[in-house]
Amino acid sequence: MKPIIQFDRTWYDSFLKHIEDNGPWAKSELFSLAYLAEKERIIPSFHGLIAPGRLPQLKLHPHQIETARTVIEEMHGKAILADEVGLGKTIEAGLIIKEYMIRGLVKKVLILVPASLVLQWVSELNAKFYIPAVAQRKAYVWEHYDVVVSSMDTAKREPHRSIVLAQDYDLIIIDEAHKLKNHKTKNYQFVQSLKKKFCLLLTATPIQNQINEIFYLVSLLKPGYLGSAEQFAKNYKSGLRSVKNEQKLKALVNQVMVRNRREDTGLHWPKRIIKSFEIPFSKAEQDFYSSLDVLKQHGIVQSFSLLTLQREACSSREAAFVTLNKIYRTTTTPVTERLWHDIFDKLNAIQQNAKAEKAVELIKQINDKVIIFTEYRATQLYLQWYLKKNGISSVPFSGGFRRNKKDWMRMLFQNNVQVLVATEAGGEGINLQFACHLINYDLPWNPMRIEQRIGRIHRLGQEKDVHIYNFATRGTVESHILNLLYNKIHLFEQVIGELDKILTHIDLNDVEKQVLTIFEESDTDGEIKIKLDNLSSVINFEQLQLKGDEDHAAGGNS
């Protein structure tokens, strides 16, 4: 069948009018230059990439260029980008958008990302790719701009939903696409209803638990590619998690999915240098910490609340005070008044924070940009005050900050101040690879959060080795966590990306809950130690299992 030939004839009338009116005519030099401009800008071949040549200031890695080419030429613009964490999926996506835009195959683009990443996408596309992307802020943006970045939650909600569904998108990109694994969710159905010519799904973990997940992900891209749900179940499933005809499935999936692995990229990855500090409490701090037990002994708090208080006390007296005061105000009776008095006296007696002193000492020694992570807002404020007192400049960073403020703080940190004090919620969605020192001022019990913290600086673009300093107070709940959970299972040393694989296999909440239960139900430190030992053995076992699995299965492009 011959291709259809379409002539653009919209210029006829205007040309004839120029002849009729005797002008106005273009200058001859401009006429020649217009021809030259078009000649320089034509796309000479169906194949190869034009975009890298037009991005002289962007350092692209070979695997990123190859990925973009594969997606466009071999996958025809519908693909799952499933590189391991930190290999630059955003860059690959940007390169693909750019190539399509240069070729004139894509004009209208919708990019759906987690809310915390919207601004980062916008700025990367603009700064690195000269793609005029805008963040969705007002309803009219959907129709008036060609390249829009938005969160899924905004897009799927009215009044936006109907406008978005009415658009004809040339390209749709969905970041963190593994969240679309369940076809019954509103998000899945929303994405399914979008009109799209090309589509990229970005995820670091294409398969987490069930084999069905890959079916639903692929069916978003290419319905029918893995058959209907029934056919898929019949051909590839045996039970909920197991696969049959694995080789065949893997081969099929690899034709719609690119998964670059760190070891295949040939890139030099900076090392992680981990240092743990067990810091002894000062006498006053120790007294205060020990006095908290009284609250449980008198039945004022349950073991869970006590644990919370103890963890806060390990961070700062300020953090503990917030909770303590809350409990005091809700439970106080004349009978317990004296007991409380004693505790608050001990809290007030604290003159110094052993960890903060250590932090200052360390920061002065490092003499470079440092990020401090704490779980508590009160500690964050305290640390800022304490650093200032010691002549160290810092800025705060929290997840609750507006996008502008986040960017502003990041800029200040990059250009003006030495320390960024971040709370947990600030862990996701900013790249701070210009810094390479990170202090975990207190330790979260959810290891994934540690990974996210480290991921802020240990990523593509980090040129120096990354130094992680873990603080734990000696002889407290924290030291148990540090020694037994982290040190034993070597979570800090994991290469980035490995951890998420391991942890998605073990139910995360389970780990946290297990640890909690151990603390709650054990009467002695010895008991806690034994039980945590058991838990780490289980995780280590899972880790080994998974390594084995990885070697002969999983969806890699080998």
The piece of 17-25, 200-208, 284-292, 383-391 that touches other proteins (CB under 8 A) is 17-25
Which of 397, 478, 473, 491 lies closest to 444 in space, CA to CA? Answer: 478
- Pick from 192, 297, 348, 352 the residue near other proteins by CB under 8 A: 192
Q: Output the smallest distance, CB 44 to other proteins, in A.
A: 6
65 close to 55: Cβ distance less than 8 angstroms = no
Q: Name beta bridge partners: 372.
A: 421, 439
Number of residues in contact with other proteins under rule CB under 8 A: 67
For residue 488, state whether it binds other proteins (rule: CB under 8 A): no
- C-alpha separations of 98 from 18, 330, 422 in Å: 37, 59, 34
For residue 1, state whether it binds other proteins (rule: CB under 8 A): yes
For residue 415, state whether it binds other proteins (rule: CB under 8 A): no
Which residues within the stretch 86-105 sit at the binding site for other proteins (CB under 8 A)? 103-105
- Pick from 69, 161, 179, 197 the residue near other proteins by CB under 8 A: 197
Strands 147-151 and 168-174: unpaired
Q: Output the smallest distance, CB 434 to other proteins, in A.
A: 19
Strands 237-238 and 242-243: antiparallel
Q: Which is nearer to other proteins, 256 or 443 (CB)?
A: 256
Q: Which is nearer to other proteins, 229 or 544 (CB)?
A: 229
Q: Output the smallest distance, CB 250 to other proteins, in A.
A: 18
Q: Which is nearer to other proteins, 36 or 322 (CB)?
A: 36
For residue 45, state whether it binds other proteins (rule: CB under 8 A): yes
Strands 257-258 and 242-243: unpaired
Q: Which is nearer to other proteins, 152 or 172 (CB)?
A: 172
Q: Name beta bridge partners: 200.
A: 79, 173
Report d(CA 477, CA 95) in Å as an integer.
48
- Pick from 42, 138, 184, 329 the residue near other proteins by CB under 8 A: 42
Q: In the 8-state DSSP scheme, what is residue 495?
A: P
For residue 391, state whether it binds other proteins (rule: CB under 8 A): no
Report d(CA 63, CA 88) in Å as an integer.
10
What DSSP letter does each residue of 224-249 carry, written as one string? BTTB-HHHHHHHHEETTTEESSHHHH
Q: φ and ψ at 353, to 5 degrees?
A: -115, 110
Max CA pair span of the chain: 103
CA angle 168–171–177, rounded 5-degree value: 115
For residue 40, state whether it binds other proteins (rule: CB under 8 A): yes
For residue 393, state whether it binds other proteins (rule: CB under 8 A): no
For residue 5, state whether it binds other proteins (rule: CB under 8 A): yes
Which residues within the stretch 201-220 sit at the binding site for other proteins (CB under 8 A)? 219
For residue 4, state whether it binds other proteins (rule: CB under 8 A): yes
The residue ranges of DSSP E strands in 419-460, in sequence order, are 419-423, 437-440
Report d(CA 70, CA 257) in Å as an integer.
10
- Pick from 68, 72, 301, 306 the residue near other proteins by CB under 8 A: 72
For residue 186, state whether it binds other proteins (rule: CB under 8 A): no
Report d(CA 211, CA 233) in Å as an integer.
9
- Cα torsion through 265, 267, 268, 274, rounded to 10: -50
Residue entry with tokens 């963190």: 176
Site string (142-181) toward other proteins, x via CB under 8 A = ----------------------------------------
For residue 123, state whether it binds other proteins (rule: CB under 8 A): no
Q: Output the smallest distance, CB 192 to other proteins, in A.
A: 7
Q: Output the smallest distance, CB 431 to other proteins, in A.
A: 23
Site residues, other proteins (CB under 8 A): 1-8, 11-12, 14-16, 18-19, 23, 25-47, 53-57, 72-73, 76-77, 103-105, 130, 132, 192-193, 195-198, 219, 222-225, 227-228, 230
